[in-house]
Chain A
Amino acid sequence: DGGITQSPKYLFRKEGQNVTLSCEQNLNHDAMYWYRQDPGQGLRLIYYSQIVNDFQKGDIAEGYSVSREKKESFPLTVTSAQKNPTAFYLCASNGQNSPLHFGNGTRLTVT
C-alpha cells in the first residue's frame, strides 16, 4: 500500500539536543511538507519541498532544518535554536492537483 511513514511515533529529548524526524513516502509525489500541530491551533507549515534538492521556508521555519536528497525522503531536524519544540509533527505529500496525504505524525517531547 502506498503511503507516508513517519518515525518514530514518540520521541523524547533533552533541551539543547538536536533531533531528526524521519518521513518517507512511496506515493511518487513530487512535493513534501512538514507541519507542526499544537493544541487549539491550526497546522502550521514549517518547510516544504516541490522538487529534489530544493526546499522553501514555511511560516515557522526558525529553529528547523530540512534536506531533500531523494524524492522519497524529507527529514526534519529540530535544532536547539527552536524555543518551543514540544509538539506533534506531521509530514505530508501531494502530486499535481491532488490533496495532501499525511503521515501519522511524530510526537516530540523536549524536557
Chain B
Amino acid sequence: EDQVTQSPEALRLQEGESSSLNCSYTVSGLRGLFWYRQDPGKGPEFLFTLYSAGEEKEKERLKATLTKKESFLHITAPKPEDSATYLCAVRTISGSARQLTFGSGTQLTVLP
C-alpha cells in the first residue's frame, strides 16, 4: 500500500528563520510528487511537481527537492504570510493515472 508521511506535524518559526519540511514516501512506483499550500478554510493551491530523484524546483522563498525516498520543502527566510499547511502528495503506477495519495500535512506558523 502506498504511504506518504509528512513531518513535523506542526512547525513554528521566527520570521527569517529558515527550515525544511519533510515528505517521506513508500510507493510501488513514483509517477510524480506534488507540493501544495493550504490556507485555513481554503482549498489547496499547487506549488510544485517533481518527477525524478535529484530534481529541484524553486518559487520565491520555497525550494522543493526529491530523493528516492523523500522530498524536502526548504523555506528560506520565511515571512508571516508563508504561514499555512503544506501538503505533499504522490502519484504512483499502482493508482489510477490521475489519482494522488496525500500526506496529512505540516502546519507552518511564522511569527513576526
Contacts and interface: CB of A to CB of B under 8 A. Distances in A.
B105 A90 contact: no
Contacts of B46: 99-101
A64 interface: no
Given A90-B44, A104-B42, A105-B41, A45 B103 contact: no
A90 B102 contact: no
B104 A42 contact: yes
B100 A105 contact: no
Interface string B75-112: 00000000000010100000010111111110000000
A26 B99 CA distance: 21
B43 A102 contact: yes
B98 A45 contact: no
Interface of chain A, main secondary structure: strand
B98 A50 contact: yes
B34 interface: yes
Nearest to B5: A42
Contacts of A33: 98
B104 A40 contact: yes
B88 to A, nearest CB: 9
B11 interface: no
A42 B98 contact: no
B4 A42 contact: yes
A12 B104 CA distance: 25
A48 B96 contact: yes
Contacts of A105: 41-43
A97 B99 CA distance: 11
B49 interface: yes
Contacts of A78: none
Contact of B43 (A41, A42, A56, A104): A104
A102 B42 CA distance: 9
Contact of B98 (A40, A43, A94, A102): A94
Interface string A26-37: 000001010100
